[in-house]
Every structure is written in C-alpha cells, then in structure tokens.
Amino acid sequence: MSFATILGTLMGFALFVGSVVISTDNYLVFLDLASFVMVIGGTFAATFVSFEPRYVLLSLRGLQSILFANKVGRGILTQEVGRVIRWGYIIQKNGLPGLEADAGKVRKQDRFLGFGIDLVISGYTGQEIREILATTVETTFQRNTTQADILRSMGSTAPAFGMIGTLVGLIIMLDKMASDPSKLGPGMAVALITTLYGILFARLILLPAASKVQQREEIVRFRNYLVAEGLALLAERKSPRYIQDRMNAFLDPSIHFSIDKMRGNS
C-alpha cells in the first residue's frame, strides 16, 4: 500500500471536515445528494463523451493503482545495473547462449526486458538496440500517460459542473423567492455546495491522482532507458566495469552500483 497517498488523502479531507466542525454547528448543510450527483454524474458523462470508454476505464484503474506502492524504487535502479553487469560477466565467459540461459525467467516476468534481451541474442548492434528500445519506451509512455491526461481532464471538468449545479440552484431559489423570501439564505447555501463539491473532487482526488500517475510513468520510462542502455552495451561487448560507469551516469551518486563492493560481499 502507498501509505503516503492514503495519508495525504485522509489528511486533506480531515482538514476540510475539521474546519467545518470548528466553523459551524450545522454540519448537515454541507451534505446534499443532488449536488453530489450533479458533480460526479456530470464529470463522468462528459469524460465518456470526450474519450473512448476503454481509456476511461483504464484511467479509473490508474486512480485505484496509486493506493499501492510504486514497484520501481531507487533500490530497483541499482539492482538493474547490477543485473546487467552480471550478464556482462556471463557473456564474457559463456557468450550469448549463457545470457539466454540465465535470463530465461526474467524474460517471462518483464516484457520490456525480455524484448531487449531477445534483441541482444538476435545479434543487433548496440545502436540498433538503442533505437528500437527508445521507440518502445516512448510509445509505451504515451499510451500509459493517457490515463493521466484523462484524470486531468476530469479534474478540470468537475468544477465546471459544480458551477452548473450552482446556477441551477440559484435559478430554483430565485423562482421561489417571491413566494418565500426567508428561504433566500438557505437556498443560496445549498446552491453553493455544488461548486464546493466540484472543487474538492478535482483538487483532492482527480488532479493529485493524475500527477502521481504521470510521475510513476516517468519513473518507469527512466528505468527502461537505463535498462536499454545496459542491453546495448552488452551487445557491444563492453567490459563490466565500463557498463557500470556508463549506467551509473544515469543515477544519483548515492545509489551507484559498485563492482568492488559486489566482489567484497561475495
């Protein structure tokens, strides 16, 4: 679970509820089913009109996925460098058949890595592997960040439907004002709740979720470029120490991989 995401969401709603509790004793004035339906229903209706249903459903999955921890962390990047270096030693000793035998399980678990290993085994040059994998990285990134684009679109749509709900409420309120002017104040409060719901839905859920989905996909793209460079170096038969230094250049110095430490531990 991504405790930071869950904690941040809960804190946001807790601060809102806390401010309401401090400000008034009439808490129920902030609950209105019609306003909720107007914002949520209108946002989803406009989204399904704007985008293909398949991508909308994928974006909702992305909204759910941010509740879980990201699989690609800083430590994973160091491990990727170490794995490619180990393959470099295997190729030096046993050639490409050794790589194929050692990476059999990994090729099934990681599609991108498996595709890259297949390119190395097939005999492509390092530059050819860089070009092919760069295309794969970018097209995958574009497909996956569509979810973030849809969530951002929903985040901009929700406040608009909040305003529409407010206008509807004001029209109803003004229509009844002549018969009972005393209901002007309560009617205005109910009308404004829809705008409040729209802003909360956008700013506490949709837009933060879009930012996190985007960031996670950028991290995956960075990891894939790192792996692609390592595989290209394997194809060029570079030495393990050169592979280490070249791949470490992608990383923060605090997470650099060290062959000397690896040998010391072994």
> First-to-last CA distance in the chain?
33
Q: Quick check: is 15 in a domain? A: no
Q: Quick check: is 124 in a domain? A: yes
Give CA–CA dist 2/65, Å, rounded.
9
Q: Which residues constitute the domain of residue 244?
A: 32-266
Q: Quick check: is 149 in a domain? A: yes
At 51, list the tokens: 């985008």
Average pLDDT, the chain: 90
Number of domains in the chain: 1
Report the predicted TM-score, pTM, of the whole model to 2 decimal places.
Answer: 0.87
Quick one: which H or E segment has residue 78? helix 74-102
Q: Quick check: is 120 in a domain? A: yes
Q: Quick check: is 11 in a domain? A: no
At residue 132, the pLDDT reads: 98
Q: Quick check: is 3 in a domain? A: no
**For residue range 140-198, what is the model confidence (pLDDT) as tens digits?**
999 999 999 999 999 999 999 999 989 888 887 877 776 777 666 666 777 789 999 99
Q: Quick check: is 206 in a domain? A: yes
Is residue 253 classed exposed, middle or buried when 0-12, 13-18 and 19+ CB atoms within 10 A define those classes?
A: exposed
Q: Quick check: is 2 in a domain? A: no
**For residue range 201-244, what is the model confidence (pLDDT) as tens digits?**
999 999 999 999 999 999 999 999 999 999 999 999 999 999 99
